[in-house]
Amino acid sequence: MAEIIDGKAYATRLRAKVAEAVADLKRNHGLTPGLAVVLVGENPASQVYVRNKAKQTIEAGMESLAYRLPDTTNQGELLEQLEALNADANVHGILVQLPLPKQIDSHAIINAIDPRKDVDGFHLSNVGLLSTGNPNLVPCTPLGCMMLLQDRYDDLSGMSAVVVGRSNIVGKPLASLLLAAHCTITIAHSRTKNLAAVCRRADILVAAVGRAQMITGEWVKPGATVIDVGINRIDSDDGKSRLVGDVDFESASKVAGAITPVPGGVGPMTIACLLRNTVQAACTIDNLTVAL
Ligand code: GUN
């Protein structure tokens, strides 16, 4: 049976470290980092995420600013809101919750955020810095995955890593981070031939496809570390619903050496890394350093 990687416990420690850094910035520099989260529309999953982000921001001692705009908001109105947040000295991090309504061009919105305040790490400037090996702000979910891996392995160099999923939010930035850590990378996706065989080559297997329980134990190399980024809601036997990952935990945990559960694995790391990025952004903007 695989070791269970406790992302929830790791995230709790990371949030405590962020709270200490925030207390230090307040005490020694009179600086309270502020995070602005912009939600357009009424997507129920996004509303839950945004609420959790605000709650944990406040718990870490930071200022949380929430902007809820109607579903009918147009691109110009959202750009105007971002311009105001870019200019606001009390705002150090800006996050626009995705997905956005279809009348809005997400790329244009992401790239209108001041890259120094881009705590999602999605701005082209931050993507370029990461892929050229000089990272500034790094996307939160991939950063959380790397922290869990580096907690387990002192050195990832030479390991074979397979990332299933090629999104800009997870797959591509995580591949850049694993490459920087000297792994040999394969990015696989829905059109990859012999996907099971490709996955079986992985010392580190990351599932970020958004398909419930797609990756089974037969796809896992014995002893591999499996990182499950998926969060899918499925119907359960008792007529209710439950959360599962992109990995079939029951079969994969019999083969893997270590595995992240869902819930309680990568999920809690994402918001903890967002808080960390907000402190980092505040320090960069105000030209300060703090232990993180
Ligand atoms: N929607 C799903 N994941 C994310 C994320 O990491 N950042 C933002 N802004 N929106 C998301």
Residue 68 belongs to a domain with what CATH number? 3.40.50.10860
pLDDT of residue 224: 98
Would residue 24 count as lying in a domain?
no
- Residue 264 and residue 154 share a domain: yes
- Residue 146 and residue 107 share a domain: no
Given its phi and psi angles, is residue 37 left (phi above 0), alpha (psi -120 to 50 degrees) or beta?
A: beta
Q: pLDDT-based confidence at 139, cuts 50/70/90?
A: very high
pLDDT of residue 237: 87
Q: pLDDT-based confidence at 55, cuts 50/70/90?
A: very high
Question: Which ligand 1 atom is nearest residue 95's CA?
Answer: 9
- Residue 153 and residue 102 share a domain: no
pLDDT tens-digit map of 246-288: 999 999 999 999 999 999 999 999 999 999 999 999 999 999 9
Amino acid at 94: I
The whole-angstrom separation of Cα 160 and Cα 183 is 6
Test site for ligand 1: of 82, 118, 120, 168, most ligand atoms within 8 A of the Cβ: 120
pLDDT of residue 131: 97
Would residue 154 count as lying in a domain?
yes
What CATH number is given to the structural domain containing 144? 3.40.50.720
Is 118 marked active-site? no
- Separation in Å, CA 147 to CA 144, 198, 235, 250, 275: 5, 24, 32, 24, 14
Q: pLDDT-based confidence at 25, cuts 50/70/90?
A: very high
For atom 4 of ligand 1, the residue with the nearest CA is 98
- Residue 160 and residue 85 share a domain: no
pLDDT (average), residues 181-198? 97
Would residue 70 count as lying in a domain?
yes
Is beta strand 258-259 parallel, antiparallel or unpaired with respect to 3-4?
Answer: parallel
Would residue 163 count as lying in a domain?
yes
Burial profile 7-45: b = 16 or more Cβ within 10 angstroms, e = fewer: beebbeebbebbbbbbeebeeeeebebbbbbbbbbebee
**Nearest 5°: phi and psi at 184?**
-95, 120
Total domain count, the chain: 2
- Residue 240 and residue 157 share a domain: yes
- Residue 146 and residue 109 share a domain: no
Is 97 marked active-site? yes
- Residue 66 and residue 171 share a domain: no
Q: Which of 56, 81, 97, 280 is catalytic?
A: 97
Which tokens sit at 32?
């309270």
Range of the domain at 36: 30-114
Helix, strand, coil shares, percent, the chain, to 5: 40, 15, 40
Burial profile 167-178: b = 16 or more Cβ within 10 angstroms, e = fewer: bebbbbbbbbbb
- Residue 163 and residue 61 share a domain: no
Based on C-alpha coordinates, what's the Rg of the chain? 19
Amino acid at 137: L
Class of residue 222 by CB neighbours under 10 A (exposed 0-12, middle 13-18, buried 19+)? exposed
Would residue 18 count as lying in a domain?
no
Q: Which of 114, 120, 228, 248 is catalytic?
A: 120
- Residue 110 and residue 45 share a domain: yes
Class of residue 236 by CB neighbours under 10 A (exposed 0-12, middle 13-18, buried 19+)? exposed
Would residue 224 count as lying in a domain?
yes
Structure letter (DSSP) for residue 175: H
- Residue 93 and residue 144 share a domain: no
pLDDT tens-digit map of 219-249: 999 999 999 999 999 999 899 999 999 999 9
Q: pTM of the prediction?
A: 0.97
Would residue 287 count as lying in a domain?
no
pLDDT reading at 216 higher than 90: yes
Would residue 190 count as lying in a domain?
yes
- Residue 88 and residue 148 share a domain: no
Alpha helices in the chain (DSSP H): 7-29, 44-59, 75-87, 106-110, 124-131, 140-152, 171-180, 195-200, 249-252, 267-286
**SS3 state of residue 21:** helix
Which tokens sit at 18?
């962020």
- Residue 107 and residue 150 share a domain: no
